[in-house]
Amino acid sequence: MVTVTGAFDDGSAYTVQITGRADRPVVGSHRAAALVELHLGEEIPLSPTGPLVAVTGDDSASVLAVLREYTSVLEENGAAPRQARVPGTEPLRTTCTIVQERS
């Protein structure tokens, strides 16, 4: 579970836990929960360069992205949310060959 502390545009502070549950994505702030619920189903970038994913309550990464996009996130603690998998993408793999010269 990830704990997020942040502030809304009007300066009101919040602290929530991202649960990873579809029925209750965040606990600790009714206002933050309403914000996440408002954006369910919308596409949001997981980072400034993407990828875009649909916001779902059981996807901790997309819930965190909503909080980052619409509030000022000040602190994140706990296990990092899993990153959504984008179909057709694979991790970058590199190979390094070391050649040693003989004298």
Question: DSSP string covering 22-87, please?
Answer: SS-SEES-HHHHHHHHHTTT-EEESSTT--EEE--TT-HHHHHHHHHHHSEEEEEEESPPPPPPPT
pLDDT for the residue 49: 86
Q: What is residue 47's predicted lDDT score, i.e. its pLDDT?
A: 86
Give residue 8's pLDDT: 97
pLDDT by position in tens, the chain (length 103): 899 999 999 999 999 999 999 999 999 999 999 999 999 999 999 988 889 999 999 999 999 999 999 999 999 998 765 554 555 555 555 555 566 666 6
SS3 call for 16: strand
